[in-house]
Structures are given as structure tokens and as C-alpha cells.
Amino acid sequence: MGQTRHNVERATRAIINLGAISHNVAAIRKRIGNKRGLMAVVKADGYGHGAVEISRVALRSGADSLGVALPEEGQLLREAGIEAPILVLGLIQPEEAYKVVNFRLAQTVTSIELL
């Protein structure tokens, strides 16, 4: 019996259409109105597609806040000049709390002990 080999190192490519992101965010904003918040989650570098650029497009198109997984991701956005509210969705260690404060981030709190 022959063996089938699978090439796990296939070239994978993602084409990001910033116009489509802009259109989609604007459509969501139109649908929900201006009284509700709209957060663009750009954790993991916008899922590998460029958090800074995607954040800028999303904010220009109607998002009013951003979500990241780690304080370092929020730091990257702040250093790029992004001033919108940023929520860190992942848990942090107590010794990382200074990053949340220094970069004006909000932190998800999942228990009273975390406070």
C-alpha cells in the first residue's frame, strides 16, 4: 500500500481588503446606531493581518474602541498614536499591571481576586 504525503508547509496567503473591513464596520455601526459601543478586536496582530492598520481603518469607519489580548498589543497601538479606548481581554499577572496603567488600557476583570 502506498503512502500519501501531505505538505504541511504549504504557502498560505491571506489577502486583506481594508475597504471591505471599512465597509463592514460602517454597516455594523449603521445597523446598531450611535448609542451603542462598537469594539474592533485586533488581538494577535489583527489575527496576523496588521493590528495598527486594521485598528485605524476600523476606528475611522465607526468602531469606538479596540480589544487586544495582551498589554503589549495595547502598547503597540498606543505607540502608533492610537488614542481610542483599548480593552485587554486576556488575564495578566499582577506584575504586569503597570503596563495597563502606563499605556492607558482597560483590563478585563474576571474575579474579585484580580482586583
Cα angle 92, 54, 74; round to 5? 20
What's the mean pLDDT in 83-112?
A: 93
Task: Tell me the whole-structure pTM to 2 decimals.
Answer: 0.84
pLDDT at 42 over 70: yes
Q: According to the model, what pLDDT value does residue 13 have?
A: 72
81 grid coordinates = 498614536
Q: What are the backbone dihedrals phi and psi of residue 5, each rounded to the nearest 5 degrees, phi first? A: -105, 140
Q: Where are the domains of the chain?
A: 18-114
Set of cell numbers at residue 44:
494577535
CATH entry 2.60.40.420 includes domain 18-114: no
Q: Residue 41, CB half-sphere, CA atoms under 13 Å: how many?
A: 8
